[in-house]
Amino acid sequence: MKNFIILLLITCMLLNVACKRMLDVPTPQNQLTTDKVFSDSVSVKSALFSVYAGLENQQYPLSNRYLSAYTDESMISGVDQSWNQSRLSAGEVANTGNWSNLYTAVYQCNMILEQLGPGNILPESFKRQVRAEAKFLRGYCYFYLINLYGSVPLITVTDVNLSSKAVQSDSAAVYAQVLTDLNSAHEELSVAYPGTGRIRANKACAAALLARVFLYQRNWAGAENRATEVLNTGMYTPLDNITGAFKATGKEGILQLGSQNGCTTEAGTVIPSFATVAAGYYLTDNFYASFAPGDLRKSNWIGTSATTVSGLTTTYRYPYKYKNRVANTTAPENLMILRAAEQYLIRAEARASLGKLNGAGSAAEDLNVVRQRAGLPAVQFIAQHDALESIADERKHELFFENCDRFLDMKRTGRLQTIMTAAKATWQPTGARLPIPLTDITRNPNLIQNAGY
């Protein structure tokens, strides 16, 4: 039974990736056994690319759209109001899919790491690169699992007999694994991107994700150092102008998830088909009003549609960071996972927390790079508190509708309960953690459900 499950998962990996633009190798011939799959470099690449493809296809409906509505950023049209009300059930479909997809990616990474061990006959340089990418991706997945769900099973093997009964590990243990994976990936990944574009991890990707992890752990020096490493490469700066920040060919993108025909699933779902059609995902009035006058992000990253019924016009303001609702190979877009503007904001917060408020190498210097790109005046700070408040406000407007950022930002800075209680009458303190899916609770008696579900 275990061998059948492994074979089925490998087959899914190889088939699931066939339509993705990120493939820079032909689709491999069918393989019948695990050892044969991992003795062929083309099939190994397909297995690796399947992890990247799965994150774009399946995780990001939750990370960008649903968790934005879960906070104070946006609303989802439709009958089901569970995300708008921040009241999920343990059986909620999108959340269940997110958990499942993250652990599927973890399983795939575990398999790659196991199969590309010392006994594998493929060239060492090739194995080193693929293993490093698998470590990066596993660290990425566990970063989101621990921050979305709290205590989660820490699984680093493919033995389903062990994983099906796994107990939850505390955040310290999971973060330790994340750091082990990312530090190893950082050491082993090449400076150059493998393949074409920026759709596979390089050394800067590991450094950028480490900067984010260090920020969450309040390791200010570590966050500052890793963000500096990324920005000092010169590969991602100066920031693209406001209209080009999300182009696949721009400088700002550190890691992107490859899209098909130059358009993202994100844009195809969020952008209304016509300007007179109601948006399925639209920003709240309070969030829209929070942008400062003259902020170019407000005029360039937010679209508008309006409907008129019985003489009453309703205006919808929707996220418009990605412009390509349909195929566009002339000005292609990929889904951004890591970008340079975030690194400036990470370093600004780290420097402010270390007391480096103004002047060269300061929080104000970094924050002003992002502000001036947005058409806003430069700032200076009198007190650390003012600097941190300004940085939080800048993150709110720079990173909206991206990678769970608003939800996780409020959590890590201790502002979640205050902001959400004011924003939604339906908010409960237990909403700080998403529910562990009912299907997994039922299958694994060792799992303990989060409070409130």
Residue range 28-37, pLDDT digits in tens: 444 335 666 7
Distance CA 161, CA 69 (A): 37
CB atoms < 10 A from the CB of 107, how many?
Answer: 22
Distance CA 73, CA 262 (A): 27
Which pLDDT score is estimated for 15? 38
Nearest partner of 186 among 222, 218, 221, judged by Cα: 222
pLDDT tens-digit map of 300-322: 999 999 999 999 999 999 999 99
Q: What is the pLDDT of residues 386-397, one digit of tens each?
A: 999 999 999 999
pLDDT tens, position by position, 334-352: 999 999 999 999 999 999 9
Q: 182 and 136 in contact (C-beta within 8 Å)?
A: yes
Is residue 56 predicted with pLDDT exceeding 90?
no
* ∠ Cα 411 413 414 (to 5°): 65
Q: Is the pLDDT of residue 407 over 80?
A: yes
Average pLDDT of the chain, as a whole number: 91
pLDDT exceeds cutoff 70 at 378: yes
Nearest to 401 by CA among 335, 347, 314: 335
Q: Give the CA angle between residues 198, 180, 107 to the nearest 5°.
A: 70
Ranges 16-30, 164-178, 223-237, 256-270: which has the least confidence: 16-30
Per-residue pLDDT tens over the stretch 246-286: 999 999 999 999 888 999 989 999 999 999 999 999 999 99
Give me the pLDDT at residue 79, please: 82
Is the pLDDT higher at 57 or at 211? 211
Q: Please report, for residues 125, 242, 272, 346, 396, the alpha-carbon distance to residue 302 in angstroms, rounded to integers and kept in the order given.
A: 44, 12, 12, 24, 14
Mean pLDDT of 56-70: 85
Structural domains of the chain sorted by starting position, each given as residue range(s) with its CATH number in brackets: 1-189 (1.25.40.890)
